Amino acid sequence: MSDKNRVGVKRLGLFVMLAAIVVAVSGLVIWRQINLVKTDNDPKSAEVEQRNAQKAIEDYTQALELNPNDATGYFHRGLIYTRQGNFQKAIEDYNQAIKLKPNFGEAYNTRGSAYFRQGNSQKAIEDYTQAIKLNPSDAEAYFDRGLAYAKQGNVQKAIEDYTQTIKLRPNFAEAYSNRGVAYAKQGNVQQAIEDYTQAIKLDPYYAEAYYNRGIAYYNQGNSQRAIEDYTQAIKLRPNFAKAYSNRGATYVNKGNFQKAIEDFNQAIKLDPYYGWAYYNRGLAYREKGDNQSAAKDLRRALELTQDPALQQLAEQELRELGVQ
């Protein structure tokens, strides 16, 4: 492989690692709300769900007017606001529930999740910590605090909380997968693979765990195992654009540029605003000697992204192609 090819693979590898972190954490934040959010893509069902939620809010509001000291009523109305994505309203209700019932551990935990969804990781950690003090056996509070620590970049603290989650709930697949991501960030790729594998044993339909393990195999230099895991992730989630893009990156690593381009095409079809997929496809075109198509994709990546890392890489590639 030429020096130029080696440079391209290295840059693809950087993208793949970043994708692992983003997908595992944000995906698992959604998992935290499974009991609160109905995952139904039918617009009619969503409309019914919204109407039902609004009716429930009205009913709780009327009940609270009759009994303003009902902490549980504020808590449940807060859950509905959380489901609607109205986190500020939810926090206000959780505040009132905690004021009325200071030892209300669930209210601290759900308020922490609302703060986390608002982007306030520190307040989330404080609430999760209080929930743990009130209920030291609350596995979800440890898990959620692990998410918040990971968001802050405190990887070791995240690992400790995921480990405690697993001690309390040994069948908690998401905790294994998230701990695997944290180990990967520390450079402990083999331990990450072991955690992803355990997550898959506990939940064979866990597409993100296959995806993350594929990244770990890629970073170990095991392209074939990486492709197998990305392929399984795609079987489980056919609209998994990042898995297509990462599999394409791995095909580039193997020198199979046509298959790589096919995967990048599919990733872009699924997500037309996916800047990294355009960037990676541009590299594949460059390796095939199609500099015109490469430049077009690199420019498109620049148009779409606000990621400084992607901007820098795309601009550098365009300079190397002699394109301004």
pLDDT of 47 strictly over 70: no
Q: Exposed, middle or buried, 288 (CB in 10 Å: 0-12/13-18/19+)? A: middle
Q: Which two tokens stand for residue 6?
A: 């080696």
Q: Mind listing the domains of the chain with CATH numbers?
A: 34-135 (1.25.40.10)
Q: Which residue has the higher pLDDT, 52 or 151?
A: 151
Measured CA to CA, the distance from residue 194 to residue 180 in angstroms comes to: 8
pLDDT digits (tens, 9 = 90+) for 273-305: 999 999 999 999 999 999 999 999 999 999 999
pLDDT of 226 strictly over 80: yes
Return the pLDDT at 279: 93
Q: What percent of the chain has pLDDT over 70?
A: 85
Q: Count CA within 13 A, CB hemisphere, residue 146.
A: 30
- Other C-beta atoms within 10 Å of 236: how many? 17
State the residue for tokens 């096919």.
262
